[in-house]
């Protein structure tokens, strides 16, 4: 588990408090802490309709199709979706 994924998952949980039986639990590298580990499927169910995810030049992008200015990029699709959740929540669009 990399630190960026851990931090994104924790930040999404703190902002949204999304969590139910669909979530997995992750462990920090030192196995001292447990945190919600979101999956791409879970996030796509929570996000508004029209979310797109694509890969270009080794970078993943996630955005709401009608709001292309909300493009969030990362090295994995899951991280791109987590960043999109954070951007939409902070903008009051979730």
> How far from the centroid of its chain's Cα atoms is residue 61's Cα?
11
The 10s digit of each residue's pLDDT in 72-92 is: 999 999 999 999 999 998 888
The 10s digit of each residue's pLDDT in 20-31 is: 655 667 666 666
pLDDT at res. 77: 93
Read off the pLDDT of each residue in 53-62 and give the average, rounded to a whole number: 89
Read off the pLDDT of each residue in 51-65 and give the average, rounded to a whole number: 88
Name the domain count of the chain. Answer: 1
| C-alpha span between 28 and 24 (Å, rounded) | 13
> What is the Cα Rg of the chain in Å?
13
What is the CA angle 45-49-53, rounded to 5? 80
List the domain range (segments joined by +) for residue 54: 3-90
Per-chain mean pLDDT for the chain: 82
pTM: 0.79
């Amino acid at each position: 588990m990399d630190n960026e994924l851990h931090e994104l998952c924790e930040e999404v949980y703190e902002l949204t408090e999304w969590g139910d039986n669909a979530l997995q639990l992750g462990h920090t590298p030192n196995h001292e802490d447990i945190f919600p580990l979101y999956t791409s499927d879970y996030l796509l169910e929570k996000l508004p309709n029209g979310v797109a995810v694509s890969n270009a030049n080794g970078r993943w992008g996630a955005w709401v199709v009608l709001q292309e200015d909300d493009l969030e990029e990362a090295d994995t699709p899951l991280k791109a979706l987590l960043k999109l959740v954070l951007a939409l929540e902070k903008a009051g669009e979730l």
